[in-house]
């Protein structure tokens, strides 16, 4: 029994780390497509994700689309989540291909604290003193870079809040990750198909017109989108939420390093101060997760 629990925990860690690692190196993949408009990349990401997740769910006999579409509440939630994930995907691809990976990484550092904020405002959750301090520090970090640069880091905020609301709706609705992703991409598919057909009619579409390598990258976008979501779902079932909280910082850390060291994006003194405030906030937030986990184990 003990060995089985250890095996389950190890499997959970492997799945979760793989998911966040792949999300972390995503900028490299989208950079390979940076000659294409962000909207066209988004269209192919939606279309091929729908095809791949449908095939996967059919093979694993988890194709429950009818149940989701027949449930009025689930349908309303999925319309909202489809719009949010569409905004998130487009903003992320735009950020990578416009040389703003560092700002995108900031968005994913802020995201856990946005979730805390949404829990406070929407779910009326109570925050501890340390969580309140963490939230304030993160806000100060965003305000600092805004005032010093004279512009709001809108990419970071759109990514953080879009994914924050997406996670909130998924959490409160308790919808299964992959079946709901299939419905979300299904709702977005008319836009995706329209963009692909429009490009083909104008002769500006990339699919089957540039190179086999480009075709492969566009089609494979569906797999690289769905695979980490599947790994994350499998990992989250096997390890505590506090452990997931630790691992989620893998992705923005890789993104930041890729932006600075691989693509030579600027990381100025302003970035350092702003990120340092956000990192301190994350340390405080993570400490509250660990403490809560320790207290619950002690009570048991």
Quick: pLDDT tens for 30-79.
999 988 999 999 999 999 999 999 998 888 877 777 777 788 888 888 99
**pLDDT value for 71:** 81
**pLDDT value for 148:** 86
Whether pLDDT at 174 is above 80: no
245-257: average pLDDT:
87
Whether pLDDT at 91 is above 90: yes
The mean of the pLDDT values for the chain is 86
Region of 63 (left: φ > 0; alpha: ψ -120 to 50; beta: rest) is beta
Quick: pLDDT tens for 67-89.
777 888 888 889 999 999 999 99
* Structure confidence at residue 187 as a pLDDT band (50, 70, 90): very high
Quick: pLDDT tens for 143-164.
998 888 788 899 999 999 998 8
208-235: average pLDDT:
88
Whether pLDDT at 1 is above 60: no
Task: Please report, for residues 68, 173, 221, 284, 296, the alpha-carbon distance to residue 291 in angstroms, rounded to integers and kept in the order given.
Answer: 37, 27, 39, 11, 9
**pLDDT value for 238:** 78
Whether pLDDT at 299 is above 60: no
**pLDDT value for 151:** 85
Whether pLDDT at 125 is above 80: no
**Which are the contacts of 268, defined by CB distance < 8 A and separation ≥ 6?**
none
CB 153 within 8 A of CB 142: yes
Rounded Cα distance, 163 and 157, in Å: 10
CB 82 within 8 A of CB 189: no
Rounded Cα distance, 256 and 254, in Å: 5
* Structure confidence at residue 205 as a pLDDT band (50, 70, 90): confident
240-264: average pLDDT:
85
Query: For 73, what's the count of Cα atoms within 13 Å in the CB-facing half-sphere?
Result: 6
pTM beyond 0.85: the answer is: yes
Region of 37 (left: φ > 0; alpha: ψ -120 to 50; beta: rest) is beta
Which structure tokens are listed for 13? 């860690």
| Every domain of the chain and the residues it spans | 2-299
Rounded Cα distance, 75 and 177, in Å: 14
Indicate the Cα dihedral angle 53, 14, 88, 58, nearest 10°. 10
CB 21 within 8 A of CB 247: no
């Amino acid at each position: 029994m003990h060995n089985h629990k250890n095996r389950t925990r190890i499997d959970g860690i492997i799945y979760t780390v793989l998911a966040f690692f792949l999300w972390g190196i995503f900028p490299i993949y989208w950079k390979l497509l940076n000659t294409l408009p962000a909207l066209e990349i988004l269209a192919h990401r939606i279309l091929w994700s729908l095809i791949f997740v449908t095939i996967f769910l059919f093979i694993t006999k988890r194709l429950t689309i009818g149940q989701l579409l027949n449930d009025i509440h689930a349908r309303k939630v999925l319309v909202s989540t489809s719009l949010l994930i569409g905004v998130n995907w487009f903003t992320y691809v735009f950020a990578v291909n416009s040389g703003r990976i560092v700002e995108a990484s900031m968005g994913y550092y802020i995201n856990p604290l946005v979730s805390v904020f949404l829990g406070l405002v929407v779910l009326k959750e109570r925050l501890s003193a340390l969580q309140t301090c963490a939230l304030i520090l993160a806000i100060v970090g965003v305000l600092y870079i805004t005032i010093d640069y004279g512009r709001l880091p809108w990419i970071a905020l759109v990514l953080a809040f879009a994914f924050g609301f997406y996670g909130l709706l998924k959490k409160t609705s308790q919808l299964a990750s992959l079946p709901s992703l299939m419905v979300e991409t299904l709702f977005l598919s008319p836009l995706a198909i329209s963009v692909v057909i429009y490009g083909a009619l104008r002769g500006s579409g990339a699919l089957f017109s540039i190179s086999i390598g480009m075709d492969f990258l566009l089609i494979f976008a569906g797999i690289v989108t769905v695979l980490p979501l599947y790994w994350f779902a499998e990992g989250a079932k096997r390890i505590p939420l506090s452990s997931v909280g630790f691992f989620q910082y893998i992705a923005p850390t890789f993104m930041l390093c890729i932006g600075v060291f691989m693509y030579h994006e600027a990381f100025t003194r302003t970035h350092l101060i702003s990120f340092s405030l956000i990192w301190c906030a994350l340390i405080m937030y993570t400490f509250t997760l660990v403490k809560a986990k320790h207290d619950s184990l002690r009570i048991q």
